[in-house]
Amino acid sequence: MSQDESSTGLPVLQNTPVRAAPGPENPVEPTPPVPRRNFLLRVGIGLSALAGAVASVPIVGYLLSPLRNAGKRDWVRVGALSEFPIGETRLTTFANPSYEAWDGPTAMVPCYVRRMANDRFQVFAVNCAHLGCPVRWFPESGLFMCPCHGGVYYDDGSRASGPPPRGLFEYHWQIRRDELWVRGGALPTLATPA
């Protein structure tokens, strides 16, 4: 290998050709009849494609796994009926039916429970129908107001003003043995209204 000194002092390598150029000492090899030479290459490409296809099945399945339970809802207890006085709207929380140990406080889901009569309820998601910000309840004026873009809803959840395209999302509810249960499990959005 030959070296020469560059102007900056460090030795510099000159490129040494990996394969000698064809010439009198290195006559060009006659090309063999086509297929045999490339046989392994073709096998290799085929096997790699197969391996890639097989490997992609678990990868894609793994990546899409969040969709498997996307539509799944479950009944979950919100509280005893006595916690919700008739004629009032109360902020409360329930534990999301599916959760992991490392969810921390994010496993809890807030909601507003409005009790109109002994056995008549409305359970609203706190998420504004516009972009999901948490709406606040003002009992004095009977309005829910959103802090993000100014959406306002009436006490029955219907849209009063602002950018929301619809009223508040409502959870299905049930009374089981003097307890209020709701069907929860997914973040309410326009695509997945609770």
Partner 1 sequence: MARWLSKVGKVGAWLDARLQVWGMIRDTMAHPVPRDTASWFYVFGSATFVIMVLQFVTGILLALVYVPSAADAWQSLQVLNHQIAFGWFLRAVHGWGSNFMVALLLIHMAQVFLFGAFKYPRELTWMIGVGLLLLTLGMAFTGQIMRFDADAYWGLGIGASVSARVPFVGSWLVGLLLGGPIIAGQTLSRFFTFHVFVVPGLLIGAALVHVLLVVKVGINDWPMPGRLVNRKTYLARYKRLLHEDGVQFVPDAFQRDLVFSALIILAVLVCAAVFGPFGPSGRPDPRMIDIAPKPDVFFLWLYAALALLPAELETALILIVPVVAIAVLLLLPFISGTGEKSWKRRPFAVLVVVLLASGFIALTWLGLQPPWSPSMTAWSGTPLPPRLLKERTPLELQGALVFQNKQCRNCHALGGTGGDRGPPLDNVAVHLTRDQLIRQVLQGSGEMPAYGDHLHPAEVAALVSYLETLHPPYQPAARVSAASSGSSP
Judged by CB under 8 A, which stretch of 39-47, 76-84, 100-108, 115-123 contacts partner 1? 100-108
76 binds partner 1 (CB under 8 A): no
Work out whether 140 is an interface residue with partner 1 (CB under 8 A).
yes
Query: Please, which of residues 14-53 interact with partner 1 by CB under 8 A?
Result: 15
Per CB under 8 A, does 152 bind partner 1?
A: yes
Identity of the residue, 25 or 140, whose beta carbon is nearer to partner 1 in the bound complex: 140
Please state, in angstroms and rounded to a whole number, the distance separating the CA atoms of residues 185 and 194. 8
Considering beta carbons, is residue 23 or 104 the nearer one to partner 1?
A: 104
Choice between 31 and 65, CB closer to partner 1: 65
103 vs 101: CA distance, rounded Å: 6
Task: Pull the structure tokens for residue 82.
Answer: 């006595």
Give the residues across from 136 on adjacent strands: 145
189 near partner 1 (CB under 8 A):
yes
Which residues have CB under 8 Å from 120's CB, separation 6+? Answer: none
Residue 122 binds partner 1 (CB under 8 A): no
Query: Hey, what's the torsion of the CAs at 62, 64, 69, 70, to 10 degrees?
Result: 150
User: Do the bridges between strand 3-5 and strand 170-171 make them parallel or antiparallel, or are there none, so unpaired?
Assistant: unpaired
Q: Quick check: 59 binds partner 1 (CB under 8 A)?
A: no
Q: How far apart are CA 157 and CA 19, in angstroms?
A: 79
Q: Does 3 bind partner 1 (CB under 8 A)?
A: yes
- Which residue stretches of 20-69 are H helix? 35-63
Q: Compare residues 146 and 180 and give the one whose CB is closer to partner 1.
A: 146
Between CA 126 and CA 121 the distance in angstroms is 16
Contact residues for partner 1 (CB under 8 A)? 1, 3, 6, 8-13, 15, 63-64, 66-67, 69-72, 91, 93, 96, 98-110, 126-127, 130-136, 138, 140-143, 145-150, 152, 154-155, 160-165, 185-187, 189-192
